[in-house]
Amino acid sequence: MGLLCDREIEALAVHHGAITPFVPELIRKTDIPVISYGLSSYGYDLRLSPREFLIFRHIPGTVINPKAFNPANLELAQLQEDEYGEFFILPGNSYGLGVAIEHLNVPHNVTVIILGKSTYARCGLICNCTPAEARWRGHLTLEFSNSSAADCRVYVNEGVAQALFLQGENCKTSYEDRAGKYQDQGHCVVLAKL
């Protein structure tokens, strides 16, 4: 029990459908160098989907209320491409929401903690993701804060966050049991709910 290693994560993915699609090795280079994704020693590097990336707009006098979230506070970022790959631009000192390519199906005795990748952290990009609790299912909405004054590229189809799988005893009440409000998220950004 504790933090799962690569063999245990692979078994969860292959035999229990915990990660779909599953990449059984750490990919660092395709036809161009990429920010690594796939299975690592004690985690799994999730990829950012090209489907959608939303950026919080600055609207003077507006206050974001998590109890009455206004989607008008967000604008859709344009997917861009050059010789380095496809990417979204997250402006300096701003916040954005994306979605993971991978679908998670978390077992009853596991919780997944999401952390940022060091390549992005060194650029000032912070991945502020919440845990995926026991029996949570769906595509994670990924939250990014650009703490730098400079704009930052966030590459799609490449690693943006690492998932750590923590195993313990079966919990009394799972996320599914209590009908969690973010259960079965689709392949799109899911906004704050009450």
Q: Is residue 16 part of a domain?
A: yes
Structural domain count, the chain? 1
Q: Is residue 191 part of a domain?
A: no
Residues of the chain with pLDDT under 70: none
Please provide the average confidence, as pLDDT, over all residues in the chain.
95
Q: Is residue 173 part of a domain?
A: no
Annotated catalytic residue within 52, 86, 143, 176: 143
Query: Which distant-in-sequence residues (6+ apart) come within 8 Å of 67 by Cβ?
Result: 194
Which residue range(s) make up the domain with 82? Answer: 2-167
Q: Is residue 125 part of a domain?
A: yes
Of 112, 172, 109, the closest CA to residue 139 belongs to 112
Q: Is residue 17 part of a domain?
A: yes
CATH of the domain at 26: 2.70.40.10
Q: Is residue 102 flagged as an active site residue?
A: no
Q: Helix (H) and strand (E) counts for the chain?
A: 2, 15
Q: Is residue 179 part of a domain?
A: no
Residue range 131-186, pLDDT digits in tens: 999 999 999 999 999 999 999 999 999 999 999 999 999 999 999 999 999 999 99
pTM: 0.94
